[in-house]
Amino acid sequence: MENRDSFLQETEALRQKVHHLYIYGAGLYARNLHGILKEHGISVDGFLVSHEGKETALYGLPVIHADEVIHDRIGIIIGTNSLNRIGILENLERNHFDMSYVVQGTDYIEKSGMRYDGSPTMQITTRIGCSVNCQYCPQSLLLGKYFAQDKNRSAVMTLDVFERCLKRLPQNTRISFCGMAEPFLSPDCGEMIKLASQSGHIVELYTTLVGADRKTIEEIVEIPFGYVTLHVADQFGYAHIPLTDEYYDLVEFVINYRRPDGTPFVNMCNAQAEPDERVARICRGKYEILTALHDRAGNLENEKLLSRNTPTGRISCSLCGEKLNHNNLLPDGTVLLCDFDYGMQHVLGNLLEQSYDEILTGTEWKRVCKGMSGDLKQDILCRKCSCANSVF
Q: Give per-residue burial for 156-174: e unless 16+ CB within 10 Å, then b.
A: bbbeebbeebbebbeeebb
Contact 254, 217 (CB under 8 A): yes
pLDDT in tens, 118-165: 689 999 999 999 999 888 788 999 999 999 989 999 999 999 999 999
pLDDT in tens, 314-346: 888 877 878 899 999 999 999 999 999 999 999
Mode of pairing for the β-strands spanning 61-65 and 46-49: parallel
Q: Which amino acid is at 334?
A: T
pTM of the model: 0.75
Q: Is pLDDT at 297 greater than 50 in this prediction?
A: no
pLDDT in tens, 144-153: 999 998 999 9
Q: What is the C-alpha to C-alpha distance for residues 68 and 48, in angstroms, rounded to an integer?
A: 9
What Cα–Cα distance (Å) separates residue 178 from each residue in 6, 114, 190, 370, 391? 36, 22, 13, 28, 28
Q: What is the C-alpha to C-alpha distance for residues 360 and 187, in angstroms, rounded to an integer?
A: 30
Q: With cut-offs at 50, 70 and 90, classify the pLDDT of residue 91.
A: confident
Q: What is the C-alpha to C-alpha distance for residues 162 and 192, in angstroms, rounded to an integer?
A: 7
Contact 324, 317 (CB under 8 A): yes
Degrees to nearest 5, angle at CA 232 with 230 and 238: 135
